[in-house]
Amino acid sequence: MAIGGFPKFGSIRRKIFAIAAFTALLTALITLLFFLSTDYHHQKLELLEQSRVLSKMLASNVSAAIVYRDPNTAEEILAALKEKADVLDAYIFTAEQQLFAAYHSKNAADTGQYTPDAALQDGFRRLFDGYLQLGSDHLFSADALDLVVPIQVDQRRIGFVALNLSLAELKQNFRYTVLEALGAMLLAISIAVVQARWLGAKISRPLLQLTANIEQISRDNNFDARLQVESQDETGVLINAFNSMLDKLEQQEHNKNALIVNLSHAKWEAERASRAKTEFLSRMSHEFRTPLNAVIGFSQLLAADTAHPLNAEQQDSARHILDAGLHLLDLISELLDLSAVESGKLTLNIASVDCRTVISESLELIRRQAEERGIRISSQTPEHEVWVAADRMRLKQCLLNLLSNAVKYNRPHGQITLRVEVEEQWVRILVEDSGAGIAPEQFELLFQPFSRFHHDQDLIEGTGIGLLLTKHMVELMGGELQVESRLGLGSKFMLMLNLAAEPPPPETRS
């Protein structure tokens, strides 16, 4: 964004520069044209006015000379015109329009601009007639000004003065004026250009600075930085807005960091607690096992001691002790397994296993327990061997767990169905019971440790970690544990395992 924005900032400076330069140029041109045309007109008018004054003075001065028929004096008076270089010719006519006195500048004769006398005089006579009739006393031609002024004594017109003036000097002056004006225009434009550059830089510099700062901030994620406000104009407002945005960002960053700290602390606490729990379970299970082994061992010794045989009542008690001890050992083993799974220490020995033998062994072990509750177990297993990738012992443990649950949570005189379905990649072992079933909202709790949700849970022994352990172990074997259930109609647990190749013959008897 910042990189893409950069040329735009450059172009603001260029735009300002172009606008200022264009304005300066246009203004200068218009002013120049206006000034020059006005000035030329003005110079002509000024020349005309000066010449009029001069002619009137001449007219006044020569009046007596005309009246008293003194052309020599008249020519002397005219001779003073040699001080005024642009007067080429001067004539004095009598009232009868007859030439009375004349003056010709040496310049006019020398430069060849000298017009034949008679033609010029006739021109003046016509001009004077025009003046008498129309009131226009002058005539501008390409390079000359002709002017006539009447000579009067009191109200009486006794003749007229006629001047033929060169416009060369005026044109020369005008050329100088043009040059001066052009110079002034160039100066003005260069000042405008310099000012435009300065102005452009002044406007674009804070923007470039802002861009650089934004880049810096987004690169470093440093929201502490604040931009300096150097002017109160729009760029200043922009920078202020940006600064307040930075305030908000900094606040949010601060909140976010605080939250992260809190969360990570809580996470660390939770992990520590979990680790402590696992460790505690592991240690306690271990500690439990030692005395339990003594209980089991000695109860077996009691029952099996032929030297001091127990009577029937004692035998029965010893068997209770043994059963309870074995059950407790199972529970502790499950706890140990769970903590091993959760700490990742459980290692499986996965091989090709014929699941039919595992199933039949498991069914054999659970049968007595089922019969005690009057539950009928029916199993449908394939005729031939079905090889799956599994740890034989753990698979048996999983199956026993599922079957034992099916017994425990079944209704009395209920039914358990075990089926094996073989598909292309999978082997599915289904264990169906006819128990109370599981409500859908309880599915999530199903695999939580230590959660037991049957209303009559207190009557059923168990730690509540069996299903979780089964799920973990099946997944470690690359399989999956699924459950379907309808409240009141029983539950169906599906154990899915990868189909495996048949192992070479020597390996199968293990």
Partner 1 sequence: MVYAFSAPVSAQQFNETELKAAYLYNFAYFITWPEPAARDFLFCSYANTPVTGILARLIDGEKVHDRPIRLLIDPVPEQLHECQIVFVPVQQERVLASILEYIRAFPTLTVSDVPDFEQRGGMVRLTTEDRRIQPVIHLQNVTRAKLAVSSKLLRSSRIAE
Q: Summarize as ranges the residues that interact with partner 1 (CB under 8 A).
A: 60-65, 67-73, 75-79, 82, 94, 98-106, 109, 153-156
How near is the Cβ of 58 to partner 1 at its closest, in Å? 11
How near is the Cβ of 77 to partner 1 at its closest, in Å? 8
Residue 465: CB atoms within 10 Å: 24
User: Looking at beta carbons only, is 26 or 109 nearer to partner 1?
Assistant: 109
Judging by beta carbons within 10 Å of its beta carbon (0-12, 13-18, 19+), is residue 253 exposed, middle or buried? middle
User: Looking at beta carbons only, is 155 or 510 nearer to partner 1?
Assistant: 155
Read off the tokens for 333.
């083993």
Read off the tokens for 305.
């001691």
How near is the Cβ of 94 to partner 1 at its closest, in Å? 6
Contact 407, 416 (CB under 8 A): yes
User: Looking at beta carbons only, is 65 or 467 nearer to partner 1?
Assistant: 65
Contact 165, 143 (CB under 8 A): no
User: Looking at beta carbons only, is 98 or 231 nearer to partner 1?
Assistant: 98
User: Looking at beta carbons only, is 104 or 396 nearer to partner 1?
Assistant: 104
Using DSSP, state whether 429 is helix, strand or coil. strand
Give the type of residue at 280. F
Report the C-alpha gap between 125 and 111 in whole angstroms: 25
Using DSSP, state whether 306 is helix, strand or coil. coil
How near is the Cβ of 43 to partner 1 at its closest, in Å? 28
User: Looking at beta carbons only, is 72 or 221 nearer to partner 1?
Assistant: 72
User: Looking at beta carbons only, is 78 or 355 nearer to partner 1?
Assistant: 78
User: Looking at beta carbons only, is 60 or 508 nearer to partner 1?
Assistant: 60
- DSSP character string of 389-455: EE-HHHHHHHHHHHHHHHHHTSPTT-EEEEEEEE-SSEEEEEEEE-S----GGGHHHHTSTT----T
- CA distances, 229 to each of 9, 209, 236, 296 (Å): 18, 11, 6, 85
- State the sign of the Cα–Cα–Cα–Cα dihedral 25, 26, 30, 33: positive
How near is the Cβ of 80 to partner 1 at its closest, in Å? 10
- DSSP character string of 48-116: HHHHHHHHHHHHHHHHHHHHTT-HHHHHHHHHGGGGSTTEEEEEEEETTS-EEEEEE-HHHHHTT-PPP
Read off the tokens for 19.
């606008």
Report the C-alpha gap between 161 and 151 in whole angstroms: 7
How near is the Cβ of 155 to partner 1 at its closest, in Å? 7
- CA distances, 75 to each of 72, 82, 501 (Å): 5, 12, 146
How near is the Cβ of 194 to partner 1 at its closest, in Å? 56
Question: What H or E segment, with its residue span, contains residue 508?
Answer: helix 505-508
Report the C-alpha gap between 102 and 124 in whole angstroms: 12
User: Looking at beta carbons only, is 16 or 65 nearer to partner 1?
Assistant: 65
How near is the Cβ of 157 to partner 1 at its closest, in Å? 13
How near is the Cβ of 106 to partner 1 at its closest, in Å? 5
User: Looking at beta carbons only, is 109 or 187 nearer to partner 1?
Assistant: 109
How near is the Cβ of 79 to partner 1 at its closest, in Å? 5
Contact 493, 483 (CB under 8 A): yes
